[in-house]
Amino acid sequence: MQAVIGNWKQNPATSTDVTALLDALLDNIACDDALNPEHSNCQIMVAPSCIHLYQAADKLKNSPILCAAQDISAHSSTTGAFTGDCSATQIKDSGASFCILGHSERRQYHQESNAMLLNKMQHAMNKDLGVILCIGEKEDEHKDGQTLNILDDQLSVVQDFIQNNPEMTEALTKKLIIAYEPVWAIGTGKVPTVDEVTQIHAHIKQTLSGVDNRLADLSVLYGGSVNADNASEFAKSEMIDGALVGGASLKADSFLAIVRAFSRS
Ligand code: PGA
């Protein structure tokens, strides 16, 4: 499956702006056959901030666009005294069908470890929430030639999940998307070459099928400074199954240009 996912991060500032952005997306999709889900093989998804999730999911109900959360609480098993957290149950109840886990900004600002991400993945899967697991190396790791080692370490969460929950492997094959996002490419305008991403995605796919061959067909998206101008280059690679888009997802025109690039490939 191809997928293009807009990670809105802490944007937009107001619910009025959320409505305007969603209206623009829906209006454009309604009058563009290439984006019509009956003709396109590209799943479109947006991940608003938690405060706008219910509003967005409600507006996108019965539309071809799915809604994702940007995170879920590590304390998702019960309701209770976890100030500031939103549980997997609450996220699911808001209308989201996926959650992003392990984005580099959460690893950096919230010290998210593999152990914490494994825990969150278990909560998500228990509530039938799909997971977009972000992995990626930092700039110094990239320069030191450590990229594949870092990715293998971050992918060990998937292996641990399967070891702990073998009965959920089948469900995971339908509910897990991997997003490779080199940290040094996020929001910087710097991008790896398509060949580099292709090789890295091949490694990710090989690693996952080594964990369990049922994971061989998972979608692996690229993220980091994807925009309307470079998307079609990335989309040419058979190894790149779509994009996780930050900045360029905040305008309907640029986001849908990226969707079109991956719908054609
Ligand atoms: P960017 O962000 O497209 O603004 O680089 C991507 C992301 O952080 O998911």
Q: With bands split at pLDDT 50, 70 and 90, how would you rate the model's confidence at 265?
A: low
Instruction: Assess whether the previous peptide bond of 48 is cis (omega < 30° from 0).
Output: no
In whole angstroms, give the CA distance from residue 154 to residue 252: 32
Check pocket membership of 70 for ligand 1, CB cut-off 6 A: no
Check pocket membership of 186 for ligand 1, CB cut-off 6 A: yes
Q: Do the bridges between strand 176-180 and strand 130-135 make them parallel or antiparallel, or are there none, so unpaired?
A: parallel
In whole angstroms, give the CA distance from residue 71 to residue 132: 10
CA-based max dimension of the chain: 48
Closest ligand 1 atom, residue 9 Cα: 8
Total domain count, the chain? 1
Q: With bands split at pLDDT 50, 70 and 90, how would you rate the model's confidence at 39?
A: confident
Closest ligand 1 atom, residue 227 Cα: 3
Percent of the chain at pLDDT > 70 equals 99
Catalytic residue flag (residue 103)? yes
In a domain, 250, yes or no: yes
In whole angstroms, give the CA distance from residue 181 to residue 136: 5
In a domain, 35, yes or no: no
Beta bridge partners of 165: none
Residue 182 Cα to ligand 1 midpoint, Å, equals: 10
> Model's pTM, two decimal places?
0.97
In a domain, 23, yes or no: yes
Distance of CA 56 to the CA centre of its chain: 17
User: Span 106-111, mean pLDDT?
Assistant: 96
**188 Rama class: left (phi>0) / alpha (psi -120 to 50) / beta:** alpha
Check pocket membership of 136 for ligand 1, CB cut-off 6 A: no
Average the pLDDT over each of 29-38, 69-78, 185-194, 199-208 and give the range with the smallest value.
Answer: 29-38
Residue 7 Cα to ligand 1 midpoint, Å, equals: 7
> At a CB cut-off of 8 Å and minimum separation 6, what does 189 contact?
225
Domain holding 210, by residue range, is 2-29+40-264
In a domain, 184, yes or no: yes
Catalytic residue flag (residue 123)? no
pLDDT of residue 176: 98
Q: Give the residue whose CA is nearest to atom 6 of ligand 1.
A: 246
Alpha carbon distances (Å) from 265 to 40, 42, 169, 190, 243: 10, 9, 29, 23, 13
Tell me which of 52, 103, 201, 203 is the catalytic residue. Answer: 103
In a domain, 120, yes or no: yes
In a domain, 256, yes or no: yes
Q: What's the pLDDT tens digit per position in 206-230?
A: 999 999 999 999 999 999 999 999 9
Check pocket membership of 244 for ligand 1, CB cut-off 6 A: yes
Alpha carbon distances (Å) from 26 to 62, 135, 243, 253, 265: 11, 30, 19, 12, 22
Q: Pick the closest to residue 262 from 42, 17, 14 (CA basis).
A: 42
Probe residue for ligand 1, chosen from 45, 138, 226 as the CB with the greatest number of ligand atoms within 8 Å: 226
SS3 sequence of 93-105:
HCCCCEEEECCHH
Tell me which of 105, 137, 181, 203 is the catalytic residue. Answer: 181
- Record the tokens describing residue 249, joined without a space: 């997802």
HSE (side-chain half, CA atoms, 13 Å) at 19 = 4
In a domain, 95, yes or no: yes
Where residue 154 sits, what CATH number does that domain have?
3.20.20.70
Q: Do the bridges between strand 219-223 and strand 176-180 make them parallel or antiparallel, or are there none, so unpaired?
A: parallel
In a domain, 129, yes or no: yes
Check pocket membership of 151 for ligand 1, CB cut-off 6 A: no
